[in-house]
Structure 1
Amino acid sequence: MSILQSYTLLDWSQLGVSIASVILGLIIGYQAYRGFRRNDSRSMQFLSLGLILLTAVPFTLSFTATLAIRLEPNLAGIQQELFLVVRLIQFVGLACITYSLYEKP
């Protein structure tokens, strides 16, 4: 049985939603970056950074780590540390968004 056949419909659905979330996160972050470049607004810069850190980076990191753990089960020991890193990245993203909302022009 090949490795691709061992995945269920739920696994493929989660993969599709994760990839779509990364793409949407990058699109939103890019649009905020364009707003920063157009208006030279520091708050838009932090907003775009926060959105990318909140969406695209954690999903990509989680997907890559999950794939690595499935292919190499010995890596399962780093799962808790990886979970912490993903949560820290999301926290920094939220902090950037919060800063962008309160920064003076």
Structure 2
Amino acid sequence: MLETPLQVHEVFRADQFELAMLGINFLKGILGFVIAYIAYRGYRRNESRPMLYLSTGFVLVLGVPFVFFVVAISLVGAIGPVAVLEQGVVAVAELSQVIGLLVIVYALRM
């Protein structure tokens, strides 16, 4: 029996994968802002504080990381890859998501 090495077939090339992930992150950011806007309109219409917290939570979970990643991509493209900048952006985005999730939980418990 002839043994052949395992071959890995790449579905996407690295640049295609990065472009697809950028598109998905862009879509997540836009959807986050849309959901936050709808929740904010609900707050304004009904004067419901939980809707305000829900809106704020969605901005923190999806909107803030989107803005940070867009800024980081533009800065990294302008000044070259800087590992410290990328780590800082990821840390701020993760912290924003955790705080946003806590705000959403608070809104749902009200």
TM-score, normalised via structure 2 length: 0.77
Contact (CA 8 Å) 1:29, 1:52: kept in 2 or not? yes
Match of 1:45 in 2: 52
Taking only aligned residues, the RMSD between alpha carbons, in angstroms, comes to 1.8
Aligned length: 97
> Hey, what's the Cα distance between the residues in 1 that align with 2:18 and 2:58?
26
Q: Flag the structure with larger Rg.
A: 2
- What is the alpha-carbon distance in structure 2 between the residues aligned to residue 36 and residue 78 of structure 1? 36
CA contact (8 A) 1:53 1:93 kept: yes
1:75 Cα deviation after fit: 3.1
Query: Which portions of structure 1, spanning 4 or more consecutive aligned residues, are displaced by more than 3 angstroms?
Result: none
Per-residue CA distance 1:4-57 (angstroms, 9 max, x = gap): xxx822222122111111111111000010111111000000000001110011
- The percent identity for this pair of structures is 36
Correspondences of 1:46-65 after superposition (within 5 Å): 46-65=53-72
Q: Are 1:92 and 2:99 matched, yes or no?
A: yes
Task: Answer with 56-65 or 25-34: which moved more.
Answer: 56-65
Which structure shows the higher helix fraction? Answer: 1
Counterpart amino acid of residue 14 in structure 1: M
Letter in 2 for 1:40: E
Distance in 2 of aligned mates of 1:67 and 1:10: 18
State the TM-score, normalizing by the size of structure 1.
0.81
